[in-house]
Homo-oligomer: A and B are copies of this chain.
Amino acid sequence: MTMSKLQTAAEACRPIRDGATLLVGGFGQPGTPHTLLGQVLAQGTGELTLVKNDANEPGLGISRLIEAGRVCRLIASHVGLNPLAVAMSHAGRLQIEVYPQGILAEKIRAGGVGLGGILTDIGLHLENPAASRLVEVGGIQYKIEPALRGDIALIHAERADTMGNLVFTGTASNFNPAMAMAADLVIVEAAEIVAAGALDPDQVHLPGAFVDRVVLIESTGSDYGVLKHHALQA
């Protein structure tokens, strides 16, 4: 019997329930799991907490879920490219919580690697010493940042094998490896899926031990293409 983690998007995303916390890969378009997000939209799941670096841009990625009113809370590092999400936050229809980008990634990693949290001096000048949890190590003050995990991670990879071993490309890696470690159920979409043994063990970016389900991207349409407004004009 040969094992395979390959499933359809509908099968893979079935366990995603209202009220879930989803870790969503991507920095802007690259690495955003459009196929899996499309499935979540289609199946009507709501009351979601999303953790993603940014809010994508209007009409794209997680912004579609936000626009459809499916998201109550977004944990991110920068939502500047999505005025729509900013407006919804102003209107009290979306709760946005921001962290410095690398600290958000480290909080998620800590959750994934079984740590309780990290000690950081980033942004310490903004803390209220009375309200914050500060500790001193080696004569330096640090703030305790608790680990952050999700119920489900939605991950985009360039290539996967049927065992769930993943390869990323370019700037599409971003939050994907950290998030693929930090959820109870890890669902991956990949542009290409190969047989076990087709990937060089040295060239796997994230071992399949972390991955539960793998989905083949069937339509690599406009969601995965070049956004003309971010390209130089000819």
Contact = CB atoms under 8 A, between A and B. Distances in A.
Nearest to A205: B202
Given A118-B110, A169-B202, A170-B202, A135 B135 contact: yes
Contacts of A116: 119-121, 135, 137-138, 140, 142
Nearest to A115: B118
Contacts of A140: 116
A133 B119 CA distance: 13
A203 interface: yes
Given A116-B119, A119-B117, A119-B118, A144 B137 contact: yes
The number of times this chain is found in the oligomer is: 2
Interface of chain A, main secondary structure: mixed
A33 B61 CA distance: 45
Contacts of A210: none
A75 to B, nearest CB: 16
A142 B147 CA distance: 12
Contacts of A118: 110, 115, 117-119
Of A114, A121, A144, A169, most buried by chain B (CB within 10 Å of CB) is A144
Contacts of A133: 135
Contact-size category for A? 20 to 34
A180 interface: no
A119 B147 CA distance: 9
A167 B202 contact: yes
A98 B45 CA distance: 49
A26 to B, nearest CB: 17
A106 interface: yes
Given A117-B137, A119-B147, A167-B202, 20 more contacts: A106-B113, A106-B115, A114-B120, A115-B118, A115-B119, A116-B121, A116-B135, A116-B142, A118-B118, A118-B119, A119-B119, A119-B144, A133-B135, A135-B135, A135-B144, A137-B147, A169-B202, A170-B201, A170-B202, A203-B203
